[in-house]
């Protein structure tokens, strides 16, 4: 698996949005109802949807975030032989500082947890730690 980072790419190529998030200085991770692992909020872009709207929708659906600051970080790509026939696929990486959550989740996410340290059980261990490290490297988690 290969993960790369770009500053820009043609908008039509963006298929995913991932939002690395913190709340009150703690990392925000989601646990899917059918898994025992953790992941950053994010998901697929819907037809005709602006990629920024994808990020805001996924952040709300997966964490219940209702008051937050969100910033675009960069484009990322993943190339994996067992995914999309080995074709490089692109997504937009965001960083969000969440101020307030809704009381109830409305998605496939079982719970949202706040971590002082990063989880050890990742849903996408070959991708999401690299995305998180890119956010840290670019200094977004300190804003």
**Please, which pLDDT band fits residue 18 given cuts at 50, 70 and 90?**
very high
pLDDT at 88: 95
C-alpha distances out from residue 84 to 1, 28, 41, 117, 131, Å: 12, 28, 21, 32, 19
Is the pLDDT at 143 greater than 70? The verdict is: no
pLDDT at 103: 87
DSSP bridge partners of 19: 94
Closest CA relative to residue 81, chosen from 126, 39, 34, 43: 126
pLDDT in tens, 82-97: 877 889 999 999 999 9
Domain range spanning residue 31? 2-142
Task: Give 73's pLDDT tier (boundaries 50, 70, 90).
Answer: very high
Model confidence at 106, pLDDT cuts 50, 70, 90, reads confident
Q: How many domains does the chain fold into?
A: 1
Dihedrals phi, psi of 49, to nearest 5 degrees: -90, 135
CATH number at residue 56: 3.90.79.10
Mean pLDDT of 127-143: 91
CA 10 to centroid of chain Cα atoms? 20
């Amino acid at each position: 698996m290969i993960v790369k980072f770009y500053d820009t790419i043609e908008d039509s190529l963006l298929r995913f949005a991932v939002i690395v998030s913190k709340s009150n200085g703690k990392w925000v991770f989601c646990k899917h109802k059918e898994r025992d692992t953790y992941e950053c909020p994010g998901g697929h872009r819907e037809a005709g949807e602006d990629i920024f709207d994808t990020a805001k929708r996924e952040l709300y659906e997966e964490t219940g975030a209702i008051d937050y600051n969100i910033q675009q970080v960069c484009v990322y790509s993943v190339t994996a032989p067992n995914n999309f026939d080995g074709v490089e696929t692109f997504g937009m990486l965001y960083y969000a500082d969440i101020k307030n959550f809704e009381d109830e989740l409305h998605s496939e996410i079982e719970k949202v947890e706040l971590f002082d340290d990063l989880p050890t059980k990742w849903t996408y261990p070959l991708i999401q730690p690299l995305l998180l490290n890119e956010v840290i490297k670019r200094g977004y988690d300190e804003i």
